[in-house]
Structures are given as C-alpha cells and as structure tokens.
Amino acid sequence: PVVLVGHSMGGRAALAVAGDPAVRGVVALAPWCPPDEPVAHLAGRRLHLLHDEADRVTAARDSWAFVTRAREAGADATGIPMPAGGHAMLRGARLWHRRATELALETLATTPV
C-alpha cells in the first residue's frame, strides 16, 4: 500500500494519481486545488489536506472546497488548518513534518490492503 505526500503542485499531482489501486491515501501540504479538479477517482481513499489560511500562494479555501467535493465523491477526506507556515511551511516546519508523518502512518495502519 502507498500513501502519497506532496506540497503545492506536488500535492495536486499526488491527488491526481491517487486513483491507482496501490494508493490508500494522500497527505497534501498547501496543495493547489483548482475548482474544476476531478475527484471521482478518489472514492475509497483517505485524504488529508493541510493548509495555513494565511498562505498567499495557494488558497486554503480551495483546499476546503476540494475536501467537500472529494467527500461527496466517496473519499474519507479531511481539511486540517495549520497555525503557521504560509506556503513554504518554514515557520512551524517541525509541526508540518510531524503531522504529515503521523497522518501517512495512520493512513497505512487503518486502511485495508
């Protein structure tokens, strides 16, 4: 089983390829989530989108809207507001790293193979 982790465009890429049968979930850090991004292929996947609402490069509100659409498509999706870091995740980097690691491990431990 695979959990994909990606930041910004890497988060978008991880979400785009998450329909592969080996992928159990995605941890997307400050991802770019355009409003027209497909979500049907995410049914049955666990998604965690982490975003600082002060991010001025990608919009947290787009991540939260993506989470809503993914849930409607059958994904187990959560949006996690981060308290600091902006887009580069430099302030509070340890928290970003710890949360990404915890969520990836949790996803591997709790999703059926």
Contact 5, 29 (CB under 8 A): yes
Return the pLDDT at 113.
61
CATH number at residue 11: 3.40.50.1820
Coil vs helix vs strand at 14: helix
Specify burial of residue 18 (Cβ count, 10 A radius: 0-12, 13-18, 19+).
Answer: buried
What pLDDT digit, counting tens, does each position of 24-71 carry? Answer: 999 999 999 999 999 999 999 999 999 999 999 999 999 999 999 999
- Indicate the number of domains in the chain: 1
> What is the pTM for the complete model shown?
0.95
Contact 72, 104 (CB under 8 A): no
Return the pLDDT at 83.
96
Q: Which amino acid is at 35?
A: P
Question: DSSP per residue over 46-105, as a string?
Answer: EEEEEEETT-SSS-HHHHHHHHHHHHHTT-EEEEEEESS-TTTT-TTHHHHHHHHHHHHH
| Domain housing 22 | 2-110
